[in-house]
Structure 1
Amino acid sequence: MLIQFVTAAGVLAVLTMVPGPDMAVVTKRAVASGRQDGLRTVGGITAGLLVWGVLTVAGLAAVLAASATAYTVVKLAGAGYLVFLGVQALVQSRRGRSRAPAAAVARPRGNPWRIGLVSNVLNPKIAVFYTGLLPTLAPTGIPPHTGMALLVVVHAALTAVWLGGYVLLLSKARSFFEKPAVRRGMDRVTGVVLIGFGVKVATAQP
């Protein structure tokens, strides 16, 4: 059972480190607002994973994964939210041209924890991932629900550590990112990336 658990944790670690919408959302917030807001965003994302974990163990996520209509509704809502965040970043980059440096580094609107939570909860791929992959990774020798719940906690912990470390790394170079020209460039890049992920989510198949 221990070998199975270590193998499952390794798979989850690799999947956690693959860049995706969560990293783009964290990048946008950490660069714009600093370490504290970046870590709050990570906290919201981690909470979103736990929400999906509870739904998975309860069997509700399987319903979403099996229902084309439910999947499409959540998928389009999540895609729309990512596009909204991306457009917001692009608009902020254009406004930064005419602002004084002190105003250009003002915090963006919105609660960072809620932004992280919503962006993750509206990602139907997590439901498909949890219902399709977790059962195959759950260690034998313990009840399946217990095994999946344990892996959800591991995945959430890995996500918090990985994205939290990424935020701390970004904070080390905060003085560089606070330069107006760099900020505008980062807003544009993250805006385009978020919109790209939104389009990808909207066109993805279950």
Structure 2
Amino acid sequence: MWTQTAAALGVLALLTVVPGPDMAVVTKHAMASGRAEALRTAAGITAGLLVWGVFTVAGLSAVLAASAEAYFAVKILGAAYLVFLGLQALWQSRRSAPRSAAPAATGSGHAFLTGLTTNVLNPKIAVFYTGLLPTLAPDVLPTAAGMGLLVLLHAALTLTWLGGYVYLLSRARSVFERPRVRRLLDRVAGVVLIGFGARVAAEAN
């Protein structure tokens, strides 16, 4: 069991550290609102994984993975949401010129909900959990229990990784709070998010 779990952890860790929409969204909130809001965003992202984990154990994500129409619909919604976040970041970069460098609080609920929505509208997680988790789950456990364990491990890895990333961003706070740097980072985050959205939309066609 421990050998299988360690191997599964390695696969999950590699998937976790690959840059994607999650890191872009966390970066956006870290630049706009500071460390606390970025951590709340990471918590929302982790909660989104747990939602898909519950769906997977219940068998609902398999329905999505098997239905081309449902998968397409969620992909388009997810792509649109990423583009919206990217445009929002670009708009914030325009408004950042006359503002002070202090991060503006957006409210913990908003940050958490953004992270949650980002992952709930990511159908690739459903496909990953449905297609890969059963093959990684320890043989000594029932399938549902094994997949549930891996979902919890994946959530813990994600929260730890994104939390560490936020910590590194906060360590460089004095640099990131310079108005020109913040505008540049807002624009980079916006372009990256729009790029991810366009990529998701293209894959849906």
TM-score (norm 1): 0.95
What residue number does 1:24 align with? Answer: 24
How far the C-alpha of 1:205 sits from its partner, in A, is 5.0
Partner in structure 2 of residue 80 of structure 1: 80
What is aligned with 1:115?
114
Amino-acid identity (%): 68
The 3-state SS of whatever aligns with 1:142 is coil
Indicate if the aligned counterparts of 2:88 and 2:190 stay in contact, CA closer than 8 A.
yes
Q: Kindly state the Cα deviation for residue 106 of structure 1 after the two structures are TM-superposed.
A: 2.7
Q: Residues 93 and 182 of structure 2 are in contact (CA less than 8 Å); yes or no, is this contact kept in structure 1?
A: yes
What amino acid is aligned across from residue 139 of structure 2 in structure 1?
T
| Cα pair distance change 1:137/1:2, threshold 3 Å | same
How many residue pairs get aligned? The number is 204
| Amino acid corresponding to residue 44 of structure 2 in structure 1 | G
Q: CA deviation at 1:173?
A: 1.1
Q: For the residues of structure 1 that align with 2:60 and 2:193, how far apart are their CA atoms?
A: 28
Partner SS state of residue 104, structure 2: coil
SS for the counterpart of 1:101 is coil
Question: Where do 4+ consecutive residues of structure 1 move more than 2 Å?
Answer: 104-110
- Structure 1 Cα separation of the partners of residues 103 and 11 of structure 2: 38
1-structure distance, mates of 2:164, 2:191:
24
Match of 1:106 among 94, 104, 111: 104
8 Å contact from structure 2 (residues 90, 190) kept in 1: yes
Residues 58, 64 of structure 1: alpha-carbon distance in 2 compared, 3 angstrom cutoff: same
Matching residue of 2:126: 127
Partner of 1:168: 167
Match of 2:189?
Answer: 190
Return closer, same or farther for 1:160/1:100 CA change in 2, 3 Å cut-off.
Answer: closer
CA distance in 2, matches of 1:100, 1:169: 24
Letter in 1 for 2:72: T
Superposition pairs of residues 29-108 of structure 1, within 5 angstroms: 29-97=29-97, 99-101=98-100, 105-108=103-106
The one-letter amino acid paired with 1:187 is D
Corresponding letter in the other structure for 2:16: T
1:54, distance to aligned residue in structure 2 (A): 0.2
Greater CA drift, 195-204 or 150-159: 195-204
Secondary structure (helix, strand or coil) at the match of 2:96 reads helix
The match for 1:178 is 177
Moved more, 64-73 or 106-115: 106-115
Per-residue CA deviation, residues 26-70 of structure 1 (Å, 9 max, x unaligned), is: 011012111110110000000000000000000000000000110
Partner-residue secondary structure (3-state), 1:139:
coil
- The Cα offsets for residues 113-139 of structure 1, whole Å up to 9 and x where unpaired, read as 000000110000000110011011111
Which amino acid in the other structure matches residue 132 of structure 2? L
State the distance in 1 between where 2:95 and 2:204 align: 36
Match of 1:156 in 2: 155
In 1, are the aligned partners of 2:17 and 2:161 still within 8 Å (CA)?
Answer: yes
Q: Unaligned 5+ residue runs, structure 1?
A: none
Conservation of the 8 A alpha-carbon contact between 2:76 and 2:204:
no
One-letter code of the match for 1:169?
Answer: L
